């Protein structure tokens, strides 16, 4: 793996109109002065699913193992890793501490798989507070949500 100084920055966001409702996600990858934007959406989803999809697709876009710093405004995503929720869910057979099935298990499993190829660090940012790349990811996610609401965007990975 590369040194931490050479980590890929992954800025992510999800957006949903209604919960559930049409949703979009965005991921901005930044490394060595280069950037790549990914977006996608679904006509009927939740905000948490879109937040997860942004990170999953951002990590899947990486072609080799590298250190990655994921910047997210989602406490749901960040705390699953930093507070050990994901590790405990897996150990408990994908059940919460209250013995209920983990919501969005399919995406948590996809994220766990995608993250396993890299050394991933999560950093939570305050949403809608003027952080440039977080604001840009929000604009992209909202555009993807709007496209999904109009039926112009099919679920899955889309490149912008």
So where are the chain's domains?
4-155
The pTM of the full predicted model, rounded to 2 decimals, is 0.90
- Please report the pLDDT score of residue 5 as a whole number: 56
**CATH node for 4-155:** 3.30.420.10
Per-residue model confidence (pLDDT) at position 126: 87
pLDDT of residue 102: 97
pLDDT below 70 — which residues of the chain?
Answer: 1-5, 151-160
d(CA 7, CA 42): 30
* Other Cβ atoms within 10 Å of 33 Cβ, number: 5
- pLDDT at residue 156 in the model: 45
Q: What is the pLDDT of residue 151?
A: 60
Tell me the C-alpha distance between 146 and 17, whole Å: 9
Q: Which residues contact 140 (CB under 8 A, 6 or more apart)?
A: 13, 24, 26, 28, 37, 39, 160
Answer for the pair 72, 78: CB distance below 8 angstroms, yes or no: yes
Task: Give the active site residues.
Answer: 13-14, 51, 73, 128, 138
């Amino acid at each position: 793996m590369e040194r931490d100084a050479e980590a890929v920055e992954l800025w992510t966001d999800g957006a949903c109109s209604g919960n559930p409702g049409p949703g979009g996600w965005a991921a901005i990858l930044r490394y060595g002065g280069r950037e790549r934007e990914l977006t996608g959406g679904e006509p009927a989803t939740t905000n948490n699913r879109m937040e997860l999809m942004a990170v999953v697709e951002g990590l899947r876009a990486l072609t080799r193992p590298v250190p990655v710093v994921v910047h997210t405004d989602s406490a749901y995503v960040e705390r699953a890793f930093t507070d050990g929720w994901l590790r405990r869910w897996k150990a408990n057979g994908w059940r919460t501490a209250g013995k209920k099935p983990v919501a969005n298990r399919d995406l948590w499993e996809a994220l766990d798989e995608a993250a396993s190829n890299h050394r991933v660090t999560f950093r939570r940012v305050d949403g809608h507070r003027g952080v440039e790349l977080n604001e840009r990811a929000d604009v992209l996610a909202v555009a993807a949500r709007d496209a999904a609401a109009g039926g112009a965007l099919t679920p899955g990975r889309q490149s912008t």
